[in-house]
Amino acid sequence: MLNNIQKGKKITLEEERIILSICLKNNDCEPLVKQYWHLVYHVIVKVYKYSKRSDYESDIEDLVMDVFISLLEKNKQKLRQWKSDQGKSLGNWIATIAINQTKDFIRKLYREPDIVDITELLDLIDMDSEDKIQKILDNDYLVKLIKKLPDNYRCIIELFLEGYAIPIIAEKLELTKKQVSDTKYLAIQLLKNNLIKREYYK
C-alpha cells in the first residue's frame, strides 16, 4: 500500500480506511497527504480554469496547503466526518472539500465590486482633487478597467490621474486641448460601459 501512495496510484476503499486510521489514531498524516496531494492540486487547477481565471499560478501551492490545513485542524474534524459506507470515497470527499474551499477563495478574491460606487469614482475623474484621484487609484477594479482601455484613451486618463492638467497633456501628446478633453470624456464613457458589461470580471 505504501508503494502505491508514494507513486500516487489509485487505492482501494480498504486502503483509504487504513490511511485515515493511521492519520486519526496514530497522528501520522503523511501517507494521507502524499496520497491526495496531486488530487487536490489538480482539482484546484480545474476549478480555476472552469471559473475562467488565468492568474492562478501563484495561488495554487498556497491553496493546496490551505486545504490540507483545513482537513487536519480542529482535531481533524473534516476527515472524521467522512463515512466509508455512504458511497463516496475518501478521495472524492477530499476533492469536494477542495472544490468548495477554492470556490470560496475565488469569490472572496474576485468579489464583484459595487457598480454604483465605481461609477461615482469615474465621475471624480472630471474633478481636480488629489484626494479624489487617490480614491480612484486605490480601487483595484477601476485600475484594471483603465488598463484595458485602447492606448490613446488609457494614456490620457493615466496622465490625468498622475496630476497633469489638460493643457499640459495636450502639449505632451501634441494634441489640441479639445482633443484631449473629448478623448477623456469618451474614455470615461467607455469605462462605464465596460463596467456594466462586467469587463472587469474577465
What string of pLDDT tens digits covers the 202 residues of the chain?
Answer: 555 554 557 888 899 999 999 999 999 999 999 999 999 999 888 887 776 555 566 678 888 999 999 999 999 999 999 987 667 889 999 999 998 888 888 766 655 444 444 555 555 555 554 555 566 555 666 777 788 889 998 898 888 777 778 888 899 899 999 998 889 888 888 877 776 555 444 4
Distance CA 163, CA 142 (A): 17
Domains, the chain, in order of start with CATH, read 2-109 (1.10.1740), 115-201 (1.10.10)
Of the candidates 21, 35, 28, 6, which has an alpha carbon nearest to the alpha carbon of residue 95? Answer: 35
Q: Which three cell numbers stand for residue 197?
A: 458589461
Helix ranges (DSSP H) in 81-150: 90-109, 115-124, 130-137, 140-147
pTM across the whole model: 0.53
**Residue 134 to residues 31, 47, 56, 130, 142: CA-CA distances in angstroms?**
51, 35, 28, 6, 12
Q: Which residues of 39-78 are buried (b: 16+ CB within 10 A; e: fewer)?
A: bbbebbbebbeeeeeeebeebbeebbebbbebbbeeebee
**CA distance linking residue 121 with residue 172, whole number of Å:** 26
> What are the φ and ψ backbone dihedral angles of 130, each rounded to 5 degrees?
-60, -40
**Can you list the alpha helix ranges (DSSP code H) found in the chain?**
2-7, 13-25, 30-50, 57-80, 90-109, 115-124, 130-137, 140-147, 151-161, 166-173, 177-196
Residue 137, C-beta contacts closer than 8 angstroms, at least 6 positions apart: 143, 161
